[in-house]
Amino acid sequence: MLFDEINFLSENTKNKSNLKVIKSSVTSGKLSHAYLFAGNDMDCLSDIALLFAASVNCEKKGCGKCRVCSNTVKGIYENLLIVEPEGSILTMDKVLQIQKFVSTSAYTEGKKICIIREADLMNREAANRILKVLEEPPDDSSIFMLLTEDLSGIIPTISSRCIIFEWDFTVNENLKLNFNYKNLEDMLDAGIKNIVKSRDSYSPALDLSIQICDFFKQQLPDKSAEIKNRIMELKNIGATTSEVKKFEESLNLKSRRKFSKYYNIGINMIFDIITAWLEDILSVNLGAGDAVLNYPQKYSYISENFANADNEKILKLIDTVDKNRNYLKYSTSRELALDNIFLQMQALTNR
C-alpha cells in the first residue's frame, strides 16, 4: 500500500500514530472534510497529502498501481486540485479557484480533493473566504487538505475546523550544507570593512546587498532540465495535453517555491552573521574583552572603528534584523532589506 512506502518520516510515536489514524480513516471511509498537515518540509507534506488523496479514491485504498493512484501522486488526477502561492501571498483568486472546483460535480466517481500548499500565506480576505467554505462545505464529497510549515501562521478559526496532523521528517532541513559558509562569511566581512572604509559613500553598502543576492542566485540549482525530462516522461506514457499542462504548471510552481525557500535560508545565514557583528560591537562598547566575542579576532578592528557607536542604535539595528528575519517569507524585497541594514550599520562607524 502507498502509506507503507513512505521513507522520509522519523521513527517516532507521533508519526506512527498519525499513520495509524489516517490508514484507519481510509479503510473505514470515516473521513473528515478538512485536514491540516504541519511539518518542516513542504515537499514531504505534499507527498503525504497526495498519498492520502490517492488512497481515498483508489478502489483498493491505495494500491499504488491503478490509474487513480498513479495520476494522483503526480498531481494530475481529475478530482484533484492543488493550489499554492505564486508569489509571497496566497490570494483571493486562488480561493475562488477552489470554490469553483468544489461547487462543480466530480469528474469521476470518488471524492473531490483540494490541497492548499503554504496555507499560512493566505491573506486576510482569502483566509476569511476559506473559513466560510470550511464552515459550510458545498457537499459531502469534498475534502480539503491545508499544508503549512508554520502552524502558528494558520488563524485559529481555520485550524479549529480541521483535523491536525503534525509530522517529523528525516530530511535535513539545514541547507547550509549547500553553501560554502566560510566563503560567505569572508565575503560579508570584506563587504562590511569596505563599508567602514568608505564612510562617506553609500555605494559600498548598496553594492554589498547586490553581491549577496547574486551569490545565492548563482548557488541555487537550475531545475529547468529536470522539469523538461519529467514532462517528457509523462508524454511518453500517453498523458493527455491537459494532464501534461497541469503537471508542468505544478512542477514550475514547486520549483519557484523551493527557490524562494532556499534563498530565504541563505539570507537568514546573512542575518546571523550581521547579528554576530552587532553583538560584538555592543559587547566591546560595554567593556567586554575578546574572549566573549563571537569573533574574537575582530576585537581590535571593532575597537578602532566602532568605539563611538550609540548602544541604543546598535540594539535598534539588532531588532531591525530580527524583524526582517520574521518578515522574510512575506517579503519580495530582500535586497532593500539588506540595503537598509547595511546603511544603518555604516552610520554606527566612527566619524
Domain shared by 331 and 197, yes or no: yes
Q: Is the pTM of this model over 0.85?
A: no
Residues 6+ apart with CB under 8 A from 325: 268, 271
Residues 114 and 190 both lie in one domain = no
- Residue 9 sits in the same domain as residue 148: yes
Looking at residue 176, what is its pLDDT? 44
pLDDT in tens, 173-220: 444 445 677 888 899 999 999 998 887 888 999 999 999 988 887 776
The range of the structural domain enclosing residue 56 comes to 2-166
b/e per residue 3-32 (b: at least 16 CB within 10 A): beeeeebeeeeebeebbeebbebbeeeeee
Q: Among residues 122, 146, 166, which one ends one of the domains?
A: 166
- Looking up cell 555605494, which residue turns up? 203
Q: What angle do CA 162, 168, 174 make, to 5 degrees?
A: 125
Kindly report, residue by residue over 226-256, the tens digit of the pLDDT.
788 878 887 887 778 877 787 787 777 777 7
CA angle 200, 332, 43 (to 5 degrees): 135
- Whether 22 and 125 map to the same domain: the answer is yes
Q: Are residues 181 and 286 in the same domain?
A: yes
| Contact in structure between 149 and 120 (CB atoms under 8 Å) | yes
Residues of the chain with pLDDT under 70: 87-88, 171-179, 220-221, 329-332, 350-351
CATH assignment of the domain containing 100: 3.40.50.300
Domain end position, chosen among 109, 133, 166: 166
Whether residue 153 sits in one domain with residue 100 = yes
Give the burial class of 290: count Cβ atoms within 10 A of its Cβ; 0-12 exposed, 13-18 middle, 19 or more buried.
middle
CA distance 81 to 60: 22
Number of domain units in the chain: 2
- The answer on 201 and 276 residing in a single domain is yes
195 and 162 co-located in one domain: no
Looking at the fold, whether 125 and 201 belong to one and the same domain comes out as no
Residues 160 and 211 occupy one common structural domain: no
Same domain, 49 and 128: yes
Residues belonging to the chain: 351
CB atoms within 10 A of CB 274: 21
pLDDT at 173: 46
Q: What is the pLDDT of residue 331?
A: 57
Give yes or no: residues 343 and 201 share one domain. yes
pLDDT given at position 160: 94
For position 240, what pLDDT does the model report?
81
Among candidate residues 147, 166, 185, the one where a domain is terminated: 166
